[in-house]
Homo-oligomer: A and B are copies of this chain.
Amino acid sequence: MGVVTPQIAHFEAPLSLSCGQSLANYCLAYETYGTLNTERSNAILICHALSGNHHIAGTYADDPRQIGWWDNMVGPGKPVDTNRFYVIGVNNLGGCHGSTGPSSINPSTDRPWGAAFPFVTVQDWVHAQAGLADHLGIERFAAVMGGSLGAMQAMQWSLSYPDRLAHALVIAAAPKLSTQNIGFNEVARQAIVTDPDFYGGDFYAHSVIPRRGLRLARMLGHITYLSDDAMREKFGRELLSGQHRFSLEVEFEIESYLRYQGDKFSERFDANTYLIMTKALDYFDPAAEIGGGDLSRALSHAKASFLVASFTSDWRFSPARSREIVKALLDNRLPVSYAEIDAPQGHDAFLMDHPDYQQLVAAYLNRVAEECA
C-alpha cells in the first residue's frame, strides 16, 4: 500500500449515545486507500476489533515499521483490492489513536476525559461511522466488514442503516458474548481498575499509567486469541534456559511470550479505552436489543447480503457462534455465504495469512466489485 497519511474529521453536531449522554463535538481519525469512483459506489468500510485502529494498511512516512493491522488483506491486488475499492479505516469513538476518547481533552474541564468519558456501544460507533460516511460523501457502502468486534459492527450496520450497505462481511464473530467471554473481559477489567495507578480512571493527572493492569489484561487476552494447539505448536513446554529454575523468573517460553506481549501493549494502549472496548463487546446483543431475545427477528431488519466466515480452531468465537448468525439470516431468506475455514491459529486466524481465507474474501469481493463497477 505504501505510505499512507491518517486524517482527522471534526464533527460539531452533538452525538446522542446509547447510555443517554451525548457528545457535544468529537473527531474521528481515519485513513483511506484507493480511489472513490465517480458513482461513489465502491467504498468499503473496515471496522476494527478490540485493540485495532484506523491504520489498516501501508506504513507511515515517519515510521516505516508501523504496518497496518490488515495489510495482508488490504492493498493493490490483495483480497480487498484498492485498485477497485475505496477503503476506509476509522478509529472508533472512545479509542486512543486519534479519535475522541478518554485520553482526549474534555473541553468542559480542559483536562483529559478519563473516567468522565461515556461508555459507548457498537451502535454508537456505527452512528459515528455513518457521520464519517456523510462527511466523505458516501451514501451507501459496497461493503462493511470486520473481524471479531469489527464483525459485530458490520452486523450492526446492517441493522442500524440497512439501506446504506450492499454487503456485510462478518468474520470470526458471535451474535453476542457468551458468559465465559464476559468472564474473561471482567477479569481483564478488574486487573486494570484495581491497579493502584488507575486512580479511578483519572491516572493522566498523576502522570502514571496502570501498566500492571493493562499488561495482565493483554496477557489473558492473548491466551484466548490463540488455540490450544497453536500455543503447543509455537511454544510447547520449552524452557528458555533448558532447565527448571525453581524461582519466579521467566522459564517457559510461553511465559516469555505473554510477558512480552503484555509489556508492549501496556506502553501503547489507553487503559480507559480498553475498558470501553470490552464493555462494548459485553453489551453487544442485537437479539435482545431489537429482537425480543430472538436473533432471527432482530436480523429481519437487515437487507444486506452476507459473507460469514469462522475458523475451526477459534474457541473465543467458535464456528457454532457464526452458524447462529447464518441460521438467523437464512430464517430471513437473506443472501448469505458461509465458510468454516480449517485454520489452526484460533481466533487470531482472522488477521493471518491463510490461502483459503484470503481466496474466499477475494472471490466474494470480486463479485461485489463487479456489482458496483
Contact = CB atoms under 8 A, between A and B. Distances in A.
Interface string A147-172: 00000000000000000000000000
A290 to B, nearest CB: 15
Interface stretch (A49-57, A99-107, A212-220, A336-344): A212-220
Contacts of A178: 228, 231-232
A258 interface: yes
Given A179-B236, A216-B190, A223-B180, A119 B252 contact: no
Q: Copy number in this complex? A: 2
A13 interface: no
A194 B215 contact: yes
A231 B194 contact: no
B275 A179 contact: no
Do most interface residues of chain A lie in helix, strand or loop, or is the interface mixed?
Answer: helix
Contacts of A194: 212, 215-216
Contacts of A118: 246
Contacts of A231: 178-180, 183
A283 to B, nearest CB: 6
A285 interface: yes
Contact of A215 (B179, B190, B244): B190
Interface of A: 18-20, 118-119, 176-180, 182-184, 186-187, 189-191, 193-196, 201, 212, 215-216, 219-220, 222-223, 226, 228, 231-232, 234-237, 244, 246-248, 252, 254-255, 258-259, 262, 275, 279, 282-283, 285, 288
